[in-house]
Amino acid sequence: MKKIFLIFAVLGAFVACDPVQEDISNGGHISIDELKAKTTVTVDKAASGANGNVVTCQTSAPVNAKWMIGDKEFIGNYAWKKMKIGEYTVVLTALCPDGTELTAEYAVSCQEITNELEKIYIYGDPANGQEPAVLGPGDAAAGRFSDGEGKYFPFLSDDVYFGKKTLIFDIIAAEEGPFIWGSDVGCTCRIMSGWWDGPFADNVPLSVGLWELPITDDIANTCAKGATAHDLDIMMTRGSVTIKSVYYEE
């Protein structure tokens, strides 16, 4: 009997001395303070001591986590992303087991490139020697991302669509012209699908330089092969542009 008592005493001592044992179940709900206490958002450091450009996010809270880093969304308790130099707000949306939703924001500053962004070419890879693409007014085929019905650009994979990549167009020439049905002058495009669904955006101004087009949920759900496969289409509504390359960075 004495031995049994000693065993229970030892076990009780272990439980009492465990500093990390914590009950935050609260009926399936945690507070915003508990969420923040179990969450870190960090930026790596350059050799100079300045902030680098890799953002790392993680939480050990018992929640379903969704991160918004820049213009990209990540699902999971861990996420990381290479960024351009700049100031950002990382948003964590956490769904507690009881269905309660919590939101926390973290300001980060990326001051120096420590991990170069890699260009993933869709068109115009310098190694392939492709000619620049010319998009004229009203020519829907010229800017259609379709192996069969486009003039230049290939199909975009579901990884591009559902990965919410940001397409970067390197525009090397832009000329103004009247609206395709004859009104005011400019250099604008319509972002639509190759099936002439309602436009995702219209009268978007273009000029020489880098133009960024983020893939949205609406675009992905309309154009991905895993959706309806209507193909992304960039149609000029005023003027024309010459595009050296199309790529995304990661």
Each residue's pLDDT tens digit, 93-102? 999 999 999 9
Answer whether residue 174 shows pLDDT above 70: yes
Q: Between the CA atoms of 186, 192, 196 and 198, what dihedral angle is there, to the nearest 10 degrees? A: -100
What's the rounded mean pLDDT across residues 226-236? 89
pLDDT of residue 28: 75
Question: For all residues of the chain together, what is the average pLDDT?
Answer: 88
- Is 203 or 3 the better-scoring residue by pLDDT? 203
Rounded to the nearest 10 degrees, how much is the dihedral formed by the CA atoms of 237, 239, 241, 247? -20
Are 110 and 51 within 8 A, CB to CB? yes
